[in-house]
Every structure is written in structure tokens, then in C-alpha cells.
Amino acid sequence: MIEVKQAAKSYGKLNVLRDISLKIETGEFVGIIGPNGSGKSTLLNLISGIEEPDQGEISLAGQPITSFSRKSLSQRLAVLQQDGLPSISYPVREVIEMGRFPFQDWRGREKGSNADDLLNQIMNRLELQELAGRPLSVLSGGQRQRVALGKVMAQQPEVLLLDEPTTYLDIRYQMQFMDLIASWQREEGLTVVAVMHDLNLASLYCDRLLILSAGKVIAEGTPDEILVPETIEAVFDVKSHTVNHPDTGVPQLLLQKRS
């Protein structure tokens, strides 16, 4: 589905990414983790087509990402940033409807579309019916992030890119948000690539993890292979212990205080 071949990206004299290669299969949930400044968001920008690599190639379904028009790419790929949506005054229903823009003609119409049914399903699923007429600017952070998710769901993408989507959410909304993503992924066979800071959340939801450090791939594998104390200390300079989650068996990290 997605292939990155020897990609590199620099800003002036700063080498942000160096010789990055990876493959992401259809239906995978891949987490990108690593220290601040390691190049995670830049890699996501390259995969999304927002930026082009200085070297190497990014492809989607066997085609160079640069061969897609912005509109055709938006019909297949959606991006959700950590702050989701700005605090604007548009009503919730209209914001979610904006996700249909890639499928509309210059008059804002879709041919043979059941967009209204789709939008109603999304509003129901995300429990946004009662907020439909409210301006986005009066909603809480958790509510706004659900609206942002509804907007990208309305795009009906094959690939969803998430850039630290739970950063500003409390624990309840973090779990609610990730559960919604996971159930959508299972039902639609969605391919998800997520930049994540919370390693325990990444372990709970991701099939595979990629560690970036100083712009290079340090390790790649399942959460069981990646989230081990030796690797965590080498990459993050933090001592930890690993325990198995009592429900799922996936690894969870317990951090050790510095003496």
C-alpha cells in the first residue's frame, strides 16, 4: 500500500531524515515513535504528499505520491493533526461535510451520492447529533477532536495518517478516540499510520512500531519486539520495566525514577 524508498529530507543544513525505507501493507496499523526532533512528523508529511523528499521516493498503491493530484490523493488518503481543527465558528455538521470536498464538482455537488446518509451515520457513530448545529468554537478539546475524526471519516479514505492525535486529550478521550479509530480500521480494512508519544497506547493499538532517532530508523517490529527496556533506554535515555497487559498480553512500560 505505502512504500518509502531511501527517503531523505533536509531544511538548510539540518538533516531531518536520512535513508528511510519502509513498507506498510494494506490494513496495517503502524505506529511511528521516537524522541522529540527525531523526524516523525516530517516522515508523515512525506507520506501524505504535503512535502517532497530531497532524495528517494514515496509511493501509494504502486504509484509515486507525486503523480496524484491533490484532489485524487485526498480521495484515498486523509490526515488528522494533533490539534485536529482550529476553533472556528462553523457548525459541527458543516465541518464534517467538508470531508466530502474531494468528491464534489466545482459547484459543490456529488453525482449519484448518498452523502447525507453517510454524514448521518458518522454523526450517530461519534455521538455528535446533539452538537450538529453548535459552532466548533464552543466545543471542548475532546469534542473538537471527534468532529475532526468525523471530517476525515467523511473522506472515506483508504489510508489514515495521524500526527499525535491524542496529545491534548485526557485519558478518557484518548481511549475513546483510539477505540473509534481501531473499530473503523477493522470494519473498513483501513491502513493507519500514526505518530505517537504514548508508548503504552501505541502498544495497545498498533500492529507494528517503527522507531526513529536523529532522522534514522533505529528499530522496527511488533510491540513485543520493540518495547523492551534495553531499546527504550538506548533511544529515550529512560530506564523502564515491561509488564504484560492483563487483558491483551501486549507489553506495557513502567517507568523507573532516576535515583
- Residues 185, 215, single domain; the answer is yes
- Residues 72, 96, single domain; the answer is no
Q: Does residue 57 belong to any structural domain of this protein? A: yes
Q: Does residue 118 belong to any structural domain of this protein? A: yes
Q: Does residue 116 belong to any structural domain of this protein? A: yes
Domain C-terminal end among 155, 189, 208: 155
Q: Does residue 217 belong to any structural domain of this protein? A: yes
7: β partners: 20
- Residues 72, 5, single domain; the answer is yes
- Residues 141, 187, single domain; the answer is no
- Residues 42, 144, single domain; the answer is no
Please tell me the total count of domains within the chain.
2
Angle between the 141-154 and 171-188 helix axes, to the nearest 10 degrees?
A: 10
- Residues 62, 161, single domain; the answer is yes
Domain C-terminal end among 123, 155, 187: 155
Is residue 85's pLDDT more than 80? no
- Residues 25, 41, single domain; the answer is yes
- Residues 54, 164, single domain; the answer is yes
- Residues 1, 72, single domain; the answer is yes
pLDDT band at residue 41 under the 50/70/90 scheme: very high
CATH of the domain at 162: 3.40.50.300
Which residue range is the domain that position 50 belongs to?
1-76+157-222
Is residue 77's pLDDT more than 90? yes
pLDDT for 173: 87
Q: Does residue 237 belong to any structural domain of this protein? A: no
Q: 163-207: per-residue pLDDT in tens?
A: 998 888 889 889 999 999 999 999 999 999 999 999 999 999 999
Q: Does residue 70 belong to any structural domain of this protein? A: yes
- Cα gap 39→172, rounded to integer Å: 28
Domain C-terminal end among 155, 182, 206: 155
- Cα gap 225→218, rounded to integer Å: 13
| Average pLDDT for 108-128 | 84
Q: Say which residues have a Cβ less than 8 Å from residue 213's Cβ, sequence separation at least 6.
A: 34, 35, 38, 235
% the chain with pLDDT above 70: 97
- Residues 171, 51, single domain; the answer is yes
Q: Does residue 109 belong to any structural domain of this protein? A: yes
Q: Does residue 231 belong to any structural domain of this protein? A: no
pLDDT band at residue 258 under the 50/70/90 scheme: confident
E strands, the chain, where?
Answer: 2-11, 14-24, 29-33, 55-60, 63-64, 77-80, 159-163, 191-195, 208-213, 216-221, 240-244, 251-255
Q: What is the chain's length?
A: 259
- Residues 11, 68, single domain; the answer is yes
Neighbours of 138 (CB within 10 A): 12
- Residues 199, 94, single domain; the answer is no
| Average pLDDT for 213-232 | 96
